[in-house]
Each structure stands twice: as structure tokens, then as C-alpha cells.
């Protein structure tokens, strides 16, 4: 009899763990969820809001293997992921193992795949967290209700399009993209002018020049709207004397950033490495689950990748401090390890930030064992974490106000120059300015909210004192126009969702992918724009089901799910509070949308191909592919691709986006053109 059975989600994770535990442990994987809500109907009991769950096609053999292994084990450890989805999988496995595991089951979690973390988890088992399971159930049911109840409003309002869908977070995310596009379209550029002066200190043998910008006119911020305004200033300044009015010297601390959370990792990987969120999460999953290094065993390199927390374990801080002392010196160590507070009130502080498991595994040291993309992401995570445990950077600063004396009259025009010199690099020694693209230093010419320059930042300034006379070398007027807000990048949209409290780390990337898969948004120069179809969908929802795109409503529901997870709210009560008013709104919307039905927009992104296109129904219209609330979700087989609805010989099915890379997962959706429901066999590699 095997003494212990450890059940995890991923087969790759299972292989990594097998090399860390002794012969007394058997490790098996569920390969994701084992139960699902069928896609052919609502499948929600509207009295108690429980979902109908069935065994995922193809998981029967897997479950039999788990039952057999559980029957032969003395203890069964459910070691699925430490988020709500992982907790629900643990609950479903426990229910399906049945008598073979009666009295044997224990729940454990760990944030890093190391021998020490595994041993610590095995020493502290706990019951399955019912709050997390209830929250996951509520989320799944609400997503199904929103998707299945609101999508028909789109079908009624936009005739000829049966693949349209709405979603609890998907629709507010679309609204954000559409709203940004409306802001851009409505933006009217305003002209404004700046004036800069190139100066040097009178009598300075080095004639070190510096730049200052017009800062005040008669004590007020300048408002030069036209070229004529700028030319008037230039005319006034002809023959003026220039003199230092005030010099203020000081220092500025620049603190390091906290270690990565899911969304901040995706944003940094986008801006610094050019990775989209899907690729970032794929690579991060590989680093988390394990990479084979020189010793021939798979090793988990980073901690759990779906987290909103910036908390760091004390032992990890000590490990980082040892690396800092070794490679950079004691001068870079703060007296006490920095403590970072998670701003997101919904984050689970029991989770850690994303960090390297062992900081001694430097990016350079393990580079030979990683792909180029894996190495780039690991290096980013390693540098960010090490930097987070270092001293702040210290700058010497100088601000110089310069008065202009015109025929000895009181100063009308005041110019300002600033300088900043790095005295101590601190965390920038490892997380440097050049790589710090997502939160760069102030631009050379900072601009105030009113569009006017605040003062030019010079890399070097001469030694100046109050009353020093200055030499003017040139005056430079420059025309500017206010700029519209930029479109979101994929990572920036995820950051906006996080800031607004929409979605959670496990769903950020799939939300954006779903919008792209539905052809509601497109990408242009790596920025998201709404397609004509996406605009129509958003406008229809705004008109008839405003709740579906209401950011505040969706964020409040997300908070309710968190309250359920914490045990502070009852799932049934939350569901009842949500459903009654929501159904009333949707019922009215169906009638109103049908009365104002219009053809759906067809664009290059949405039109079906004329040849080899969809089968047609008896009416001659293209046969609609069924909706699936799992479209866009991670593939349950490989965990890296996302699920997409496809057409097949025997009807529509769900397949993995990584089919070309070897993933064979498929799942029949029924509703094929021949009217039958045939089993869709996995493809052979």
C-alpha cells in the first residue's frame, strides 16, 4: 500500500513534485477541473442557485485512476492550487473519490514548489475552505446567469449574429475600451506655447549652459495660447537682464517598487519585454511548475503566479538580503527589511507576491537551462524582487528661479530650472532606469496639468547662488498641442480592471483574450480598439442592460464574492439579492431590443469567409455556433492555451488554441448541422 497520495492540478507540477518526495508518496494530477456545467442550457437551479455539474468528457478514466490510487493510500492530500478555483477542484475531487477515500482526505496548499514548502504544507493540513468553494460556486453561477440571460438581448437587438455574448467582467471591460475610444474621438486639441531660455553664469570660464522654462507671468502660470502670445513675450524680453532670484538645494529619495503581483507583472512584461498577458502567464506557469536545471531534476523557480498580494515571507527577505550583501555590498541593505502593504482590500494576505523561490539562482546562473523568453521573464521577476529589498535611490536636487529685469522694472517673467544628480543608486543598481519603462523617471520637460512646462530638468547644473547674473544665449519658443488619452494596451486594460476591482488574478488575461476572440476589440500597434461590432454590442448593452456594463455594479458584485470567500456573507442571500432585479431588467431588455433590432456590423474582423465558411441551416442562414461560457478559459489539459469554439465534421466543439503546438484537448458542444450529438475524438499527435 502506498502510504500517501498527493493530488495536484497540473501533470507538469506532479512530475516536479515527484522528484522532491520520497518513495512513500504517489503524485497524480487532475489536469484542471474534473466537473463542469454543461453548455447546452442554463443548468442553474433558480431556487437555491446551485449549478448542475457533470464529469468533463474524457475525465472518467482520470477519475478512475485517482479512485484506485486513493483506495491504496493511507492518506490523500489534496494539493490543488491555493485560489478559489483550486479549492473548488479539491472539493469536487473529494466528493467524487467517495468511499475509497473516506476519512483519508486532507487539504494542503503551498505557494512555491520546493521541498521545504512541501514539507511545511504536509505538516499543516487543514479542512477544505467552504467559504472559498462557495465563492467559486457563486462566481460560476453568476457568470452563467449573466452570459445566458444577457446574450439573447444581443441576439434580439443585432439580428443575424448568434455568436454574440455578454459577460460579467467581459462587458465592463469592453465598455472601458469603447469609452476610451469615445474620449479620443471627442477630443479637441488645444494649442499652447512654451518658451525656454538657454543660459550660463556670467564670468563662468567653463560657460556651462543650462535650460530654464517660463514658469510665471506676473505671479501666475503662463497661458500662451497662440504664437502671437509667445511673440509678445519674446518682444518684452529683448534687452532684459537675467539674474538668479532663488536657489533651493535638497535631496530626494526614490523608493523601490514592491515585488510583482499578477497584474503588475503583466504590465511590466508588456512594457519592458513586449510580451502580451497570455504569453506572460504561459511563461510564468512554466517557471512556477518547474524547469529542469543542471542537476537533472525539475525545480520550481518562482512562487504562485495568481496573486494580488505584495507580502513576502520573512525567510524570503533574508535570502534576498544575503544576495544583496554578496553581489552589491552591505551599503545597499536597509537596516530593516521593507514591508509592503497591499492596497487592494480584497487581496489575500496569506498569499505571497510573485518572487524567485531561491534568489541565489541568479538569472545568469540558470540562463543555459531556460528558453530566451523564460529567461527574460525570470530575470525581470528576480530583479524586481531583489530591488524591492534594497535601499532607496538618493538624488541631490536643485531648483533655480530666474528673474528677468526689463529696464529695471519689477520682474514680470519668471523662469525655472531644475537639476537632479544621482548620489546613491540604491535599488537602481539592479532595477535600473533604462529597464524601468513602466514607471520611468520624470521627463526632461515636465508638464503641469494645464499643459504648461513646470521647469526643465537638467542633468548637470553650474554652481549658482542668489543674485548671480546670467548670460542669455537663446530663447526658444515651441508650439504644442494637448494630446488625447491613449488607447489601452492589453496590460494597461488589465491594470484598469485591477484598479476598478473587476476580475481576479486568475481571470485577467482570459478577459482580454475573450474580447479579442469575440472580435469585439482588435489590436493596432499593440493597442486595443473597439471594432464596429464591439461598439454596437456596447451601445446595445448601455441602452437596454446598463447593469451589464456598469463598472460600479460589477465591482460591488466582486466585493460580494470576496465577502462570501471570507465567510462574511451567505451565498444564497447574495444570489437572491442579485437575481430578482437583474431578471426584471433583462426581461424588459429582451422586449425592447427586439423592437429596435438592427443588422450587426460586419467588418474585416467579424465577417465570415465566403468560401469554406459555416454550414447553413434549412433557412439558408449560417448555422450559429453555440455559446460556451468556457470560451477564453485556460485549457484544462495543458493549462497554457485558451479554449475556443470551433467547427468540426461532427459539429461544433471546444478546442485548445495551442492545437498547433500539440495540445489535443477537444470537447463536444453538440448542435451540429446534422442534428446529432456525436462524440468528438481527441486528435492524435
User: Which class is 135-185+487-607 in CATH?
Assistant: mainly alpha
Q: Could you check whether 4-128 and 191-255+393-481 share the same CATH topology?
A: no
**Are 373 and 283 within 8 A, CB to CB?**
yes
| pLDDT bracket for residue 665 (50, 70, 90) | confident
| pLDDT bracket for residue 642 (50, 70, 90) | low
Q: Averaged over 413-428, what is the pLDDT? A: 95
Catalytic residue among 25, 257, 304, 413: 304
> Looking at domain 4-128, which CATH architecture does it have?
3-Layer(aba) Sandwich (3.40)
Q: Which tens digits make up the pLDDT trace of 19-70?
A: 898 889 999 999 999 999 998 899 999 999 999 999 999 999 999 999 999 9
Using only C-alpha atoms, the chain has a radius of gyration, in whole angstroms, of 30
**Are 117 and 88 within 8 A, CB to CB?**
no
As given in the structure block, the three cell numbers for residue 325 are 550583501
User: Which class is 262-388 in CATH?
Assistant: mainly alpha
Res 204 pLDDT > 70: yes
Higher pLDDT, 445 or 384: 384
Res 98 pLDDT > 70: yes
Main-chain dihedrals φ then ψ at residue 651, nearest 5 degrees: 120, 180
| pLDDT bracket for residue 673 (50, 70, 90) | very low
CATH of the structural domain 191-255+393-481, one choice from 2.60.120.620, 2.40.110.10, 2.70.20.10, 2.70.98.40:
2.70.20.10
As given in the structure block, the three cell numbers for residue 659 are 492545437
**Are 630 and 620 within 8 A, CB to CB?**
no
Q: Averaged over 170-184, what is the pLDDT? A: 97
**Are 380 and 273 within 8 A, CB to CB?**
yes
Q: What is the pLDDT of residue 653?
A: 78
Q: What is the pLDDT of residue 101?
A: 87
Q: What is the pLDDT of residue 632?
A: 57
Domain boundaries, the chain: 4-128, 135-185+487-607, 191-255+393-481, 262-388, 616-685
Res 286 pLDDT > 70: yes
Which is it for the CA torsion 275, 280, 282, 287, positive or negative? Answer: positive
| pLDDT bracket for residue 684 (50, 70, 90) | very low
Q: Which tens digits make up the pLDDT trace of 121-173?
A: 999 999 999 999 999 999 999 999 999 999 999 999 987 666 789 999 999 99
Could you tell me whether strands 298-299 and 35-36 are parallel, antiparallel, or unpaired per DSSP bridges? unpaired
Q: Which tens digits make up the pLDDT trace of 358-377?
A: 999 999 999 999 999 999 99
Spatial distance between the Cα atoms of 132 and 118, rounded to a whole number of angstroms: 22
DSSP string, 397-447: EEEEEEEEEBTTBPP-EEEEEEEEEEEE-GGGGTS-TTT-GGGPPPPSS-B
Main-chain dihedrals φ then ψ at residue 33, nearest 5 degrees: -65, 150
Calculate what percentage of the chain has a pLDDT beyond 90.
73
Q: Averaged over 617-622, what is the pLDDT? A: 36
CA end-to-end span of the chain: 35
Q: Which tens digits make up the pLDDT trace of 342-359?
A: 765 555 445 899 999 999
Q: What is the pLDDT of residue 625?
A: 47
As given in the structure block, the three cell numbers for residue 673 are 448541422
Res 535 pLDDT > 50: yes
| pLDDT bracket for residue 454 (50, 70, 90) | low
| pLDDT bracket for residue 606 (50, 70, 90) | very low
Cell 481576479 locates to 504
Calculate what percentage of the chain has a pLDDT beyond 70.
85
Res 577 pLDDT > 90: yes
Q: pTM for the full model?
A: 0.83
Under DSSP, the state recorded for 126 is: B
**Are 155 and 541 within 8 A, CB to CB?**
no
Residue 529, SS3 per DSSP: strand
Among the residue ranges 1-10, 102-111, 655-664, the one predicted with the least confidence is 655-664
Q: How many residues does the chain have?
A: 685
Q: Which tens digits make up the pLDDT trace of 235-244?
A: 999 989 999 9
Q: What is the pLDDT of residue 679?
A: 38
Res 660 pLDDT > 70: no
SS (H, E, C) 148-173: HHHHHHHHHHEECCCCCCCCCCHHHH
Mean of all residue pLDDT scores within the chain: 87
Higher pLDDT, 250 or 22: 250
Q: Averaged over 201-206, what is the pLDDT? A: 88
Could you tell me whether strands 291-292 and 298-299 are parallel, antiparallel, or unpaired per DSSP bridges? antiparallel
Nearest CA to 635 out of 646, 627, 643, 623 is that of 643
| pLDDT bracket for residue 654 (50, 70, 90) | confident
Res 506 pLDDT > 50: yes
Active site annotation includes 304 = yes
Q: Which residues have CB under 8 Å from 120's CB, separation 6+? A: 110
Amino acid at each position: 500500500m502506498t502510504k500517501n497520495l498527493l493530488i495536484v492540478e497540473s501533470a507538469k507540477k506532479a512530475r516536479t513534485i515527484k522528484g522532491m518526495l520520497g518513495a512513500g508518496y504517489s503524485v497524480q494530477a487532475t489536469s484542471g477541473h474534473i466537473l463542469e456545467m454543461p453548455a447546452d442550457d442554463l443548468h442553474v437551479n433558480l431556487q437555491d442557485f446551485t449549478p448542475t455539474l457533470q464529469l468533463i468528457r474524457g475525465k472518467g478514466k482520470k477519475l478512475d485512476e485517482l479512485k484506485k490510487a486513493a483506495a491504496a493510500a493511507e492518506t490523500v492530500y489534496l494539493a490543488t492550487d491555493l485560489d478559489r478555483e483550486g479549492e473548488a477542484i479539491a472539493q469536487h475531487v473529494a466528493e467524487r473519490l467517495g468511499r475509497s477515500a473516506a476519512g483519508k482526505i486532507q487539504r494542503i496548499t503551498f505557494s512555491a514548489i520546493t521541498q521545504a514548502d512541501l514539507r511545511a504544507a504536509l505538516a499543516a493540513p487543514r479542512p477544505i475552505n467552504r467559504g472559498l468553494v462557495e465563492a467559486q460556486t457563486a462566481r460560476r453561477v453568476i457568470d452563467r446567469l449573466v452570459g445566458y440571460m444577457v446574450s439573447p438581448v444581443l441576439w434580439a437587438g443585432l439580428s443575424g449574429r448568434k455568436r454574440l455574448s455578454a459577460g460579467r467582467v467581459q462587458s465592463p471591460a469592453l465598455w472601458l475600451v469603447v469609452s476610451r475610444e469615445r474620449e479620443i474621438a471627442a477630443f479637441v486639441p488645444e494649442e499652447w506655447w512654451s518658451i525656454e531660455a538657454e543660459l550660463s553664469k556670467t564670468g563662468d570660464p567653463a560657460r556651462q549652459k543650462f535650460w530654464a522654462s517660463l514658469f510665471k507671468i506676473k505671479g501666475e502660470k503662463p497661458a500662451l495660447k497662440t504664437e502671437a502670445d509667445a511673440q509678445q513675450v519674446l518682444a518684452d524680453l529683448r534687452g532684459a537682464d537675467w539674474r538668479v532670484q532663488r536657489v533651493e538645494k535638497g535631496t530626494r529619495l526614490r523608493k523601490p517598487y514592491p515585488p510583482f503581483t499578477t497584474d503588475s507583472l503583466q504590465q511590466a512584461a508588456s512594457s519592458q519585454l513586449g510580451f502580451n498577458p497570455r504569453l506572460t502567464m504561459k511563461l510564468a506557469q512554466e517557471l512556477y511548475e518547474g524547469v529542469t536545471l543542471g542537476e537533472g531534476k525539475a525545480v520550481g523557480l518562482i512562487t504562485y503566479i495568481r496573486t494580488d498580494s505584495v507580502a513576502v515571507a520573512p525567510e524570503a527577505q533574508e535570502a534576498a538580503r544575503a544576495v544583496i550583501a554578496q553581489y552589491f555590498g552591505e551599503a545597499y541593505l536597509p537596516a530593516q527589511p521593507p514591508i509592503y502593504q497591499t492596497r487592494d482590500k480584497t487581496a489575500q494576505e496569506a498569499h505571497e507576491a510573485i518572487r524567485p523561490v531561491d534568489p541565489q539562482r541568479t538569472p545568469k546562473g540558470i540562463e543555459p537551462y531556460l528558453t530566451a523568453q523564460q529567461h527574460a521573464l525570470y530575470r525581470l521577476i528576480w530583479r524586481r524582487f531583489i530591488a524591492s529589498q534594497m535601499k532607496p535611490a538618493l538624488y541631490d536636487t536643485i531648483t533655480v528661479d530666474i528673474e528677468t529685469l526689463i529696464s529695471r522694472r519689477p520682474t514680470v517673467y519668471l523662469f525655472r530650472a531644475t537639476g537632479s544628480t544621482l548620489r546613491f543608486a540604491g535599488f537602481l543598481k539592479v532595477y535600473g532606469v533604462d529597464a524601468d519603462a513602466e514607471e520611468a523617471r520624470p521627463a526632461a520637460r515636465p508638464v503641469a496639468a494645464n499643459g504648461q512646462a513646470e521647469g526643465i530638468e537638467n542633468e548637470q547644473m553650474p554652481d549658482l547662488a542668489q543674485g548671480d547674473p546670467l548670460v542669455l544665449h537663446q530663447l526658444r519658443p515651441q508650439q504644442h498641442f494637448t494630446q488625447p488619452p491613449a488607447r489601452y494596451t492589453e496590460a494597461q486594460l488589465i491594470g484598469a480592471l485591477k484598479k476598478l476591482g473587476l476580475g481576479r488574478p486568475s481571470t485577467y488575461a482570459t478577459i482580454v483574450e475573450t474580447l479579442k476572440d469575440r472580435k469585439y476589440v482588435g489590436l493596432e500597434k499593440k493597442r486595443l480598439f473597439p471594432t464596429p461590432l464591439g461598439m454596437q454590442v456596447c451601445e446595445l448593452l448601455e441602452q437596454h442592460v446598463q447593469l451589464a456594463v456598469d463598472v460600479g455594479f460589477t465591482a460591488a458584485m466582486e466585493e460580494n464574492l470576496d465577502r462570501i470567500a471570507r465567510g462574511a456573507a451567505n451565498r444564497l442571500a447574495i444570489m437572491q439579492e442579485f437575481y430578482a432585479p437583474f431578471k426584471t431588467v433583462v426581461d424588459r431588455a429582451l422586449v425592447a431590443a427586439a423592437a429596435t433590432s438592427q443588422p450587426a456590423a460586419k467588418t474585416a474582423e467579424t465577417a465570415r469567409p465566403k468560401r469554406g465558411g459555416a454550414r447553413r441551416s434549412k433557412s439558408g442562414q449560417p448555422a450559429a455556433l453555440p455559446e460556451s461560457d468556457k470560451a477564453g478559459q485556460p485549457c484544462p489539459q495543458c493549462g497554457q492555451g485558451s479554449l475556443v469554439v470551433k467547427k468540426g465534421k461532427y459539429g461544433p466543439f471546444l478546442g485548445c488554441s495551442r492545437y498547433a503546438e500539440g495540445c489535443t484537448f477537444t470537447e463536444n458542444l453538440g448542435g451540429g448541422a446534422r442534428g446529432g450529438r456525436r462524440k468528438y475524438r481527441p486528435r492524435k499527435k
